[in-house]
Structure 1
Amino acid sequence: MRALTVLPEKHGSLAVTDVPDPEPGEGDLLVDGLAVGVCGTDKEIAAGDYGWAPPGRDRLVIGHESLGRVRRAPSGSGFSPGDLVVGVVRRPDPEPCGACAHGEFDMCRNGRYTERGIKEIDGYASQAWRVEADYAVRLDPRLAEVGVLMEPTTVVAKAWEQVEKVGARAWFEPRRVLVTGAGPIGLLAAMLGVQRGLEVHVLDRVADGPKPRLVADLGATYHRGGIEEAVAGAEPDVVIEATGASRMVFGAMAHNASYGIVCLTGVSSAGRPLEVDAGDLNRQIVLENDAVIGSVNANLRHYAAAADALARADLDWLGRLISRRVPLERFAEAFTPHPDDVKVVVTLTE
């Protein structure tokens, strides 16, 4: 079968290659791949920045934003042929740390976890794949065209859960949220904020194209100035930071309401110095009981929450997040950005 593979840490090695058909083990589902989303992680792996092939192998099948349809399921698995499914990305380490042992493998303490399409396990960018039934999640059949958005939705489902857990340390009734960045993570974070009944504001730098319209159609408010303009009406109780841009990160910390919570989901590039009044920032955080947290990856609980959020979302709006669908054999087009891209998807069916 055909799959999108890479030689980890070798720039220019991304290619469609022939790989062996999957051989499901006991308790595994055999799944026909429908699509995979392309995100910044995939582009960094393709650029040779990182990535780890399975032990004893040179090439890694990439793709962690999966969508497939069950071809064969073992008896008693809870799945049936024809079910629409996604595969979970991360697996706990073989000798689990305390967090992994309790199902919180997204919070692994020792770093010996593995990840589909990233670290030591083949991903989902192949015409067929296998997945353990315990690490597969069924989607509402209505999500066949947009279910590939599931994995990024898990990221923000976890971010919102973490915000709410931190907020619960004292009285917490947030009203206003600011999301920085209107990429897929930012827009999906905004969607979950709207589903919570919050007043949602989204800050990005583009003036036109699909992003402002997508925000407006959520019933949220779009801003394209600086963070000071976005918070001029009132400082937010919650900030979901989805850009990783250093200035935006520190701006979010400095412009939230008292008892504000800033959740960082964007990964910043190193080596870009930024002058910050650390003393003033520390003073604000301490005197206002603020909290700044980082959040990455997701566990099974977050996949369940994301599946529910997508099932309740407007399908037309979700469909508009997908800017382009590119056939597997023309994968290079998916890794070449276009100005109006939001989410680009590689289709795996003929």
Structure 2
Amino acid sequence: MKAITVVPGRPEQARVDDVGEPSPAEGSVLVEGRLLGLCGTDYEIVEMQGYGWPPPGQERLVIGHESLGSVLEAPEGSGFAPGDLVCGIVRRPDPVPCEPCANGEWDFCRNGRYTERGIKERHGFGSQRWRIEPEFAVRLDLELGDCGVLVEPASVIAKAWEQTERIFARASWRPKVALVTGAGPIGLLAALFGVQRGLEVHVLDVNDVGAKVGLVRDLGATFHVGDVADLGVMPDVVIECTGYGPLVFQLASVVAPNGVLCLTGLSSGTRRVPISVDQLNKEMVLENTVLFGTVNAARRHYEQAAAALARADRDWLARMITKRLPMEAFREGLRKGADDVKVVVDLRA
């Protein structure tokens, strides 16, 4: 069978290989790969030194962590049957395990010894067939179809909203206005989840090119471009999805009193900006502001994500997938075009 393999940090070594069938040691559920979503993490693994780790003793890594597949074989009692639509959970608990990992919260691993499919020391889902343990597979609504490839990124947002709501539980009031920064796949999903919660949602992006404007507006949300200081909006909650460091400090200054600012984006640069940290500290203390970061997801977040997508308009979700590539052309999807939202690889082509 064929698989997309890489030597992390050596882009000239990224290719489609003929590989052996997946080992039963990887899990008792055999899955036919349907689609693989590409994101910035995949770009960093392929293009940048120091990120992405093959399994111990191996040089190459099967890439891919945004998965969608159909079950081919599953043992009795596993909870799965041939034909089930599934996605795979990315992270695995560390072998110690630390207290969070022992309680199914590997997204809060404390010692960093977790592994991740397609990222850290485990082969990913970028192959025509893959195996998975039943406890790390999530069954999806068959009606989701190809939109099921959005479950993994949606799981990150499900966790972000869950943690945000836990913080708001400290007081009697609840948020009414949400701001999402960035209108990529993560930002659009964050906006979807905010609308599903009945919030007034605003989305800020650097430009108004491509499908994202229509996608935001068709949610009933408001699309903005420009500087955050000029929005004229005082959000109760901000979901930051760009990873642009200087923006974080601006957002901390515009969020409403008692507000929550959740960071989901990763900064890849080394930008330096002058800020008045004393003034920022004063504002956050006096206004009960909470700023926190979140990464990865536990099983319950995948289930929350799958449920949220099942409630969403299918046509709207399908419009998020703006480019499909055959396996041999996967490199084209690592650098998104201006009109792209979510790029996927068809593992059957």
In structure 1, what is the equivalent of residue 264 of structure 2? 265
Cα deviation digits, residues 289-348 of structure 1 (max 9, x gap)? 110010010000101100100100000000111110001022122123211011100010
Counterparts of 1:112 and 1:172, CA distance in 2 = 39
Counterparts of 2:135 and 2:344, CA distance in 1 = 25
Q: Report the Cα offset of residue 24 of structure 1.
A: 2.1
Counterparts of 1:164 and 1:84, CA distance in 2 = 30
Tell me, yes or no, if structure 1 residue 40 matches structure 2 residue 40. Answer: yes
Q: Report the Cα offset of residue 187 of structure 1.
A: 0.3
Counterparts of 2:61 and 2:181, CA distance in 1 = 33
In structure 2, what is the equivalent of residue 235 of structure 1? 234
TM-score scaled to structure 2, two decimals?
A: 0.98
SS at match of 1:298: coil
Counterparts of 2:86 and 2:182, CA distance in 1 = 28
Cα deviation digits, residues 99-154 of structure 1 (max 9, x gap)? 11111100100000000000000000000000000000000001112110110000
Q: How does 1:1-350 map to 2 (within 5 A)?
A: 1-25=1-25, 28-49=28-49, 50-230=51-231, 232=232, 234-350=233-349
| Corresponding pairs, count | 348
Greater than 6 Å deviation, 4+ residue runs: none
Q: Report the Cα offset of residue 26 of structure 1.
A: 9.1
8 Å CA contact 2:84–2:139 kept in 1: the answer is: yes
8 Å CA contact 2:40–2:334 kept in 1: the answer is: no
Cα deviation digits, residues 11-59 of structure 1 (max 9, x gap)? 3221101111012249620000001100000000010331110011110
Cα deviation digits, residues 254-279 of structure 1 (max 9, x gap)? 11000010000001124211111111
Q: Report the Cα offset of residue 164 of structure 1.
A: 0.5
Matched AA of 1:84: L
Gaps of 5+ in 2: none
8 Å CA contact 1:61–1:124 kept in 2: the answer is: yes
121-130 or 167-176, which moves further after superposition?
A: 167-176
SS at match of 2:13: coil
Matched AA of 2:155: T
212-221 or 49-58, which moves further after superposition?
A: 49-58
293-302 or 5-14, which moves further after superposition?
A: 5-14
Counterparts of 1:235 and 1:331, CA distance in 2 = 41
Counterparts of 1:305 and 1:227, CA distance in 2 = 30
Matched AA of 1:191: L
8 Å CA contact 1:54–1:122 kept in 2: the answer is: yes
SS at match of 2:234: coil
SS at match of 1:12: helix
6-15 or 138-147, which moves further after superposition?
A: 6-15
106-115 or 13-22, which moves further after superposition?
A: 13-22
Gaps of 5+ in 1: none
8 Å CA contact 2:27–2:131 kept in 1: the answer is: no
8 Å CA contact 1:321–1:342 kept in 2: the answer is: yes
188-197 or 24-33, which moves further after superposition?
A: 24-33
8 Å CA contact 2:92–2:116 kept in 1: the answer is: yes
Q: 1:335 to 1:96 in 2, by over 3 A?
A: same
Matched AA of 1:197: G
Q: Report the Cα offset of residue 225 of structure 1.
A: 1.5
8 Å CA contact 2:209–2:338 kept in 1: the answer is: no
Counterparts of 2:25 and 2:109, CA distance in 1 = 26
Counterparts of 2:335 and 2:180, CA distance in 1 = 26
8 Å CA contact 1:6–1:61 kept in 2: the answer is: yes
Matched AA of 1:334: G
RMSD: 1.1
Counterparts of 2:146 and 2:26, CA distance in 1 = 30
